[in-house]
Chain A
Amino acid sequence: MARQEAKKDVVIVGLGWTGAIAGIELAQEGLEIVALERGRDQATVPEFKYPDQIDELTWGVRLKNMQHPRRQTVTVRRNGDETALPLRALGSFLPADGVGGAGTHWNGLNWRPQPEEMRLLSHIRENWGDEIIPEGMSLGDYPVTYDELEPFFTRFEQVAGISGQAGNLNGQIQPGGNPFEGWRSTDYPMPPMPTTWDSHKFREAALAMGLHPFPAPAGIASTSYVNPYGMQMGPCNLCGFCERYGCYQYSKSSPQTAILDALKRHPNFSYRTHAEVLRVELAPDGRTATGVTYFDEEAQEEVFQPADIVILAAYQLNNVHLMMVSGLAEIYDPATDQGVLGKNYGYQMNGGATLFFRDEHFNPFVGHGSNGMCIDDYGMNRNDYGALGFIGGAYWRSGLTNGQPIRSMPLPSGTPSWGAGWKAGVGEWYGHAMSIGSHGSNMSYRANHLDLDPTYTDRHGRPLMRMTFDWQENDLRMNQYMKARVEEVAASMNPDIMQSSFKGPGARYDVRPYQTTHNTGGHIMSASPNEGVVNRYSQMWGQHNVFAMGAGNFVQNTQYNPTGLLGGLAYWTVDAIRSQYLSNPRPLV
């Protein structure tokens, strides 16, 4: 028999970006709120203080800041004919652990989606017709529009503290910004970060080719800043330890720098760490949740936390897993196209070129996670899918984020991987290379989905979630198109050596190299209950008092890093709870 805690108005599962947003906004309603976080407590001091995080081995290679697969992982297979095997050590993606979640260790790239990406199916139908959509591709429109979300994108940018340069202010194109972005009602809260040598070179080359470079939108403070909650950020010193690390400088946007200290001042909010939620408990009729059961690591026992509202704010994979083991919706079956939970799992298709300049100094350790100049000339809303033969797009970025030498050691192809030749290579080339990265879309497909593994279980005896995912021809064609375009720009810069790495025809998904922590879908938004798991307010179709945050809501992934969209959706969702749900709890659609 589980221990039972006193009932709360709201229980929040996971205290990362979206859990912190839900907490602070709902705390203003006077609700009694508890957040349950399975990992440790974390603050800038002491957990992230200098120089403890400036340790590439511990945090960058051994991944001690991340979710430990011993505690939670997935199994992976490329298609339904393979036997899925556990992801035993992290590689391809890095879910976080502890207070602040992935918001502590991200790079800070904060993009809004394009308006066209929010209504992709309609965009395709209106311009090219259904016939260009390949068999097995599973596309939809988001049941909420860019225009509806715009105030909430703005709100998240102001809270998170984003540095950048607007390209489209209320429809007026701004010089130096991204001319292809959706309209924004105000400029970024802070001016862009300074431009390093590599990004300066890329900018000049892009301009010479008639492209439209602009500074990357950065969750990195370019100046001192106070956000709407009174939280203060200090200007980034380009320490070069951003992704995979907690920021020691109060400079990177994170729940720690933007929300948590303000949130903890609300007496009606509390949080418990080392509290791993095992399942959502349902009322006998299954139409509402009664609370959640979690494992109290300290007491080594299960605890039932009753609540009127359950907010699932764990990482995308863990939100979907929790819904599956709690029986909140029917699990998707690609053979029949029935079920909704686990559907439209999405990822990201990336590639890049490395340019070596023997006599130039790039000082790669001078950087931050969102460093660089970007172009969006080959983005989703620029490409003629019919003529190009694929549905997709990519933004590019050139800007070194770190010079940590275990992992960031580009060498010309042909350099031996060990021995005297390798040692000579690292001495000759470290600090003399830059890159141009292409960050592209990955469409959703019936074949790429999530369900429960029949063999492997976690330490609580719950089945692991099984990921079935492989690269698809449409996205590989997009990537090869980007390769050709990137190589044109790279060649115009006359490097001594240039090489590129873009997945092409026949590429298979490989769990080992880091790709992105942009896992999306699985509990997607939809206009009707037979298409998705949540409605346009991120409210579960099946249980109206359960709301789901995060990238699991994405109908299909965008070409961008997901945080800007999921941050905006979180504010949109909490606004609906505050303005529509609390006064009359019910299905909002």
Chain B
Amino acid sequence: MSDLPGYPNRRGFLKTSAASVALAGIAARAEAQADTVPPLDEYWPEYLDAAEWAFVMAACARLIPSEGDGPGAIEARVPVFIDRQLADYYGRADIWYMEGPHDPTAPPEFGWQTPLTPAELYRQAIPAFNAWCERTHGAAFPDLDPQAQDEALTALDEGETDLAPELSPFFTTLLNNTKEGYFADPIHGGNHGMQAWVYIGFPGARAAYREWAGRHNVQYPLGPVSISGERA
């Protein structure tokens, strides 16, 4: 990559002592931020109960696994994001039209037709799916081995787990929420340390690129910033 006017070459940036001081400052801030959040096993959920939390932890770990390049959903603290979303206006469907009558058997092209809010959907679907896992795989979802978990999630995705029609949006909702928590600004509790943005190369809330329209086929060099001012 050629040097770009107005932008530090990353390697050169790290070499200079003044910049190293600045970088140490950034690292210290990021670390301080990390210190303020409890480890996931000490997190006290706002909405989910213990069994629901165990399920969300286990499911997220398979939907975006930790192995391979890039953070997994666990490193990104996606379960925290989901818990907070379900406790908030989204979980309550505050801004959706939820009046009856409801027809949860309607074709999927009609969109959300279950009478349940997203929070209620998790509350009812998790025990139903765990029960299906026990019947077919001999244990609740969190207690299955990763291969069996993937098989169970595949069955859930393909609508083969005998869930009631009211619960039919569950897999899609869970998967969408997991990806949202992976890529949303960390202010919402997931994408911890902006790891998912660093992984794909999205600069987050920088939101100022005027000189970049004309820089054709040149990779943007700067890492992300977040709404609350973190840098990575």
Contacts and interface: CB of A to CB of B under 8 A. Distances in A.
Given A51-B207, A89-B112, A419 B63 contact: yes
Interface string A399-435: 0000111100100000001111011101100110000
Interface string B200-224: 1111111111101111111110000
Contact of B210 (A197, A236, A427, A511): A236
A54 B62 CA distance: 29
B103 A73 contact: no
Interface stretch (B23-31, B44-52, B182-190): B182-190
Given A69-B97, A363-B220, A423 B201 contact: no
B96 A85 contact: no
A510 B109 contact: yes
Summarize B's interface: helix, strand, loop or mixed: loop
B13 interface: no
Interface stretch (A6-14, A60-68, A439-447, A579-587): A60-68
Given A51-B227, A88-B113, A511-B111, A418 B64 contact: yes
A191 interface: no
Contacts of A196: 213, 216
B99 interface: yes
Contacts of A40: none
Interface string B94-127: 1111110101001011111100000000000000
Given A405-B200, A431-B200, A417 B207 contact: no
B110 A406 contact: no
A512 B109 contact: yes
Contacts, number: 174
Interface stretch (A112-120, A238-246, A290-298, A487-495): A238-246
Nearest to A418: B63
Contacts of B62: 418-419
A426 B69 CA distance: 10
Contact of A61 (B180, B206, B215): B180
Contacts of A423: 64-65, 68-70, 72
A18 B212 CA distance: 34
Contact of B227 (A54, A193, A457, A509): A54
Interface size class of A (residues with CB under 8 A): 35 or more
Contact of B183 (A69, A195, A236, A406): A406
A235 B208 CA distance: 11
Interface centre among A51, A89, A418, A455 (most CB of B within 10 A): A418
Interface of B: 62-65, 67-70, 72, 89-90, 93-99, 101, 103, 106, 108-113, 150, 153, 157, 175, 178-180, 183-185, 187-188, 196-197, 199-210, 212-220, 227
10 contacts: A73-B97, A195-B213, A196-B213, A238-B212, A240-B209, A241-B207, A365-B202, A405-B197, A431-B201, A455-B101
